[in-house]
A and B are shown apart, each in its own frame.
Chain A
Amino acid sequence: MSSRIEILNDGGYRSDGRRQYELRDITIDLTPQGTADGSASITHGLTQVSVSIFGPREAKQRSQTLHDRAILNVEVNVLPFSTGDRRRRGRSDRRILELAASIKSTFEPVVQTSLYPRSQIDIFVSVLQQDGGLLQACINATTLALASAGVPMFDFVCAVSGGVHSAAPLLDLTTLEENDLPHVTVAVMPRTKKVTLVTLETRLHVDRFADIFRLACDAGQTIHAEMRRAVKERTRTLVAAMGAGPRAGPGEHMDRDVVMDDTIIDY
């Protein structure tokens, strides 16, 4: 079935009309959900993920706490209607456990856990729709939710997926493309330009890997700009709603960036 679809046609367009290096539409929603301390939902094209953060709070199981830092607890719930074939996946499905484990270990060094000893931060991830780039969407949504919960972090984590179609690198794959191509997911920390997560699951030549890897690192910066804009927009609305913000007089720039000093301690 899938072999009949042209991944990249002669005109340089992909099956959904995008160019090689074009990302899908990103929608970011930071409205609060229920009683969560922070929440975010993100869509990359047709992939939709929603994340709720609770905490830092006292851990349910006291025995699990660490005396010098907070622990992260990640639970991923893939809803049965998120894929084409309706299928209920148990909590103990290995793919889901692996997804949760990689989200957890991605954020452990990024969240400043040492500020909250003996506590727990719960991250609940719900996958509402899947159309490729699941890990990327989960990571981006978690970053945004942590930011909206006010959990201190060293940096954003921005993830993007990429693939290679006979020597032509493509970015942000859909399910259709993921099934046919070797694909990588790369998560970068945009300020230090360091990479926290790389996964590759299919056979790919070393030289090809280098190309797509570098490209994905650059694409992370684009995603970062988008995420940052959404966070600032949300904060601005909140400040305006509270009536606490500085009034924008004529000639004053409201959106001047607060540049944090770029000397980051190497952790």
Chain B
Amino acid sequence: MPRPPSPSIPEKEFVYGALKEGLRVDGRLPLEMRTPALAFGPELGWVECSLGKTRVLAQVDAKMVKPPPERPLEGIISIHSEISPMASSDYELGRPSDEEVTITRMLDKVLRRSDVVDKESLCVLAGQRVWHLRLTIHCLADAGNMLDCACLAGVVALKHFRRPEVEVVGEEVTVHHPSERAPVPLSMHHTPYCLTFAYFPDASTKPVLDPTHLEQRLSAGMLSIALNAQRELCVVQKAGGVPLAADEILRIVDVAVDKAKELDKLVEQRLKEDWAGRTVEVR
């Protein structure tokens, strides 16, 4: 298995030197995100999110299944993340690398375990019929910070998705076609956004938000924080890397709070715009 080539020494020194002065290669401020671009597909629950050249496609579909006997009152959510060599030559098929494991586990924690979707609202008929939501995340291109991009795509896809209306009469379940009755949005508890900060080996260098691929490769540790606009942390993940002072971590959490609010505003606005452009025919 060939290791991907590491950045050359002049490149490395240039980036470190610039970062020390608070400058980034792409001209951003240290704590500035690339503005996410959201493109919605023709179907509901089909979202393509891009942060610079990082692109991720998320898609939600729902089908009705019989719930497992131990949880008869809850719907099922499953997340499939497809990280293939298509995104970057760092990833390969077969045994997943540490990075891939981190991304998949983080997606699972942010989108499933933090109770984003109210699972009980997905129950149609107790013990008989529940909705099974399937969120597929395709990583199309990795130009750094794929985790944040994938989380954003996943959350927006869940917000964008609408499931068909169902009607239950006794034991009879009728699923109405979208052209017959307007599909209903999922009931969501909150919307978490993931933000990743990269730290560098030199202690005097300030951390950067939303690292590019090069910055990520040169970093000596990452801190990922997932939180919602209501100042609730969902996931904090800093596995190893450079040791940080306790106050520094709490400071970064405060920075993340503000960024999540900005992100929330942007997402809400984009969803509203998209919804205004759609016509849902109801007979």
Binding site for B on A (CB under 8 A): 63, 92, 94-95, 97-98, 101-102, 104-109, 184, 189, 192-207, 209-210, 213-214, 217, 266-267
- In the complex, what distance in Å separates the CA atom of A26 from the CA atom of B64? 49
B25 on the A face (CB < 8 A): no
Instruction: Indicate which residue in A101, A109, A207, A267 contacts B101 across the interface (CB closer than 8 Å).
Output: A101
With both beta carbons as reference points, the residue of chain A lying nearest to B236 in the complex is identified as A200
- In the complex, what distance in Å separates the CA atom of A202 from the CA atom of B104? 17
* Contact of A101 with B102 in the complex, beta carbons under 8 Å: yes
- In the complex, what distance in Å separates the CA atom of A151 from the CA atom of B264? 47
* Contact of A194 with B250 in the complex, beta carbons under 8 Å: no
- For the complex formed, measure the closest distance between the CB of A106 and the CB atoms of chain B, giving whole angstroms: 4
Contact-residue bracket for chain B: 35 or more
- In the complex, what distance in Å separates the CA atom of A32 from the CA atom of B97? 32
* Contact of A94 with B236 in the complex, beta carbons under 8 Å: no
Query: What chain A residues lie within 8 Å of B221 (beta carbons)?
Result: 105, 109
B244 on the A face (CB < 8 A): yes
Per-position binary interface string of chain B over residues 90-130, scored 1 when its CB falls under 8 Å from any chain A CB and 0 otherwise:
00000110100110110011000111000000000000000
* Contact of A101 with B114 in the complex, beta carbons under 8 Å: no
- In the complex, what distance in Å separates the CA atom of A204 from the CA atom of B98? 27
- For the complex formed, measure the closest distance between the CB of A85 and the CB atoms of chain B, giving whole angstroms: 12
- For the complex formed, measure the closest distance between the CB of B250 and the CB atoms of chain A, giving whole angstroms: 5
* Contact of A196 with B113 in the complex, beta carbons under 8 Å: no
* Contact of B95 with A217 in the complex, beta carbons under 8 Å: no
* Number of CB contacts from chain A to chain B under 8 A: 112
B242 on the A face (CB < 8 A): yes
* Contact of B240 with A109 in the complex, beta carbons under 8 Å: yes
Given A193-B245, A194-B243, A206 and B105 contact (CB-CB distance below 8 Å) = no
B257 on the A face (CB < 8 A): yes
Query: What chain B residues lie within 8 Å of A101 (beta carbons)?
Result: 98, 101-102, 239
- For the complex formed, measure the closest distance between the CB of A103 and the CB atoms of chain B, giving whole angstroms: 8
Q: Which residues of B in the span 13-59 have a Cβ within 8 Å of any Cβ on A?
A: none
21 A/B residue pairs, CB under 8 Å, sorted by A? A63-B1, A97-B96, A97-B98, A97-B101, A104-B240, A105-B221, A107-B240, A109-B243, A189-B243, A193-B246, A194-B245, A195-B238, A195-B243, A196-B240, A198-B223, A199-B238, A199-B239, A202-B113, A209-B233, A209-B253, A210-B250
Per-position binary interface string of chain B over residues 253-267, scored 1 when its CB falls under 8 Å from any chain A CB and 0 otherwise:
110010000000000
- In the complex, what distance in Å separates the CA atom of A212 from the CA atom of B113? 21
Query: What chain A residues lie within 8 Å of B85 (beta carbons)?
Result: none
* Contact of A200 with B233 in the complex, beta carbons under 8 Å: yes
Interface of B is mostly: mixed
Instruction: Indicate which residue in A102, A199, A266 contacts B203 across the interface (CB closer than 8 Å).
Output: A266
Query: What chain B residues lie within 8 Å of A97 (beta carbons)?
Result: 96, 98, 101
Binding site for A on B (CB under 8 A): 1, 95-96, 98, 101-102, 104-105, 108-109, 113-115, 190, 201, 203, 220-221, 223, 227, 231-246, 249-250, 253-254, 257
* Contact of A205 with B246 in the complex, beta carbons under 8 Å: no
Q: Given known contacts A94-B101, A198-B238, A210-B250, what 8 new A-B pairs fall within 8 Å (CB)?
A: A105-B239, A189-B243, A195-B249, A197-B239, A199-B239, A201-B109, A203-B115, A209-B236
Shortest beta-carbon contacts, A-B, top 8: A105-B240, A194-B243, A102-B239, A106-B240, A200-B236, A101-B98, A198-B238, A97-B101
- For the complex formed, measure the closest distance between the CB of B131 and the CB atoms of chain A, giving whole angstroms: 23
- For the complex formed, measure the closest distance between the CB of A33 and the CB atoms of chain B, giving whole angstroms: 25
Which of B98, B101, B237, B245 has the most chain A CB within a 10 Å cutoff? B101
Query: What chain B residues lie within 8 Å of A194 (beta carbons)?
Result: 243-246
- For the complex formed, measure the closest distance between the CB of B267 and the CB atoms of chain A, giving whole angstroms: 19
* Contact of A206 with B227 in the complex, beta carbons under 8 Å: yes
Query: What chain A residues lie within 8 Å of B115 (beta carbons)?
Result: 203
Query: What chain B residues lie within 8 Å of A202 (beta carbons)?
Result: 113-114, 234
- In the complex, what distance in Å separates the CA atom of A56 from the CA atom of B232? 43
- For the complex formed, measure the closest distance between the CB of A60 and the CB atoms of chain B, giving whole angstroms: 14
- In the complex, what distance in Å separates the CA atom of A198 from the CA atom of B101? 17
Query: What chain A residues lie within 8 Å of B257 (beta carbons)?
Result: 206
Query: What chain A residues lie within 8 Å of B254 (beta carbons)?
Result: 206
Query: What chain B residues lie within 8 Å of A94 (beta carbons)?
Result: 101, 104-105, 108
- In the complex, what distance in Å separates the CA atom of A207 from the CA atom of B232? 9
Query: What chain B residues lie within 8 Å of A199 (beta carbons)?
Result: 235-239
Instruction: Indicate which residue in B220, B223, B231, B246 contacts A213 across the interface (CB closer than 8 Å).
Output: B246
- In the complex, what distance in Å separates the CA atom of A184 from the CA atom of B236? 8
- In the complex, what distance in Å separates the CA atom of A213 from the CA atom of B245? 12
- For the complex formed, measure the closest distance between the CB of B278 and the CB atoms of chain A, giving whole angstroms: 32
Query: What chain A residues lie within 8 Å of B245 (beta carbons)?
Result: 193-195
- In the complex, what distance in Å separates the CA atom of A63 from the CA atom of B260? 42
- In the complex, what distance in Å separates the CA atom of A102 from the CA atom of B109? 15
- In the complex, what distance in Å separates the CA atom of A193 from the CA atom of B246? 8
* Contact of A213 with B249 in the complex, beta carbons under 8 Å: yes
Query: What chain B residues lie within 8 Å of A207 (beta carbons)?
Result: 231
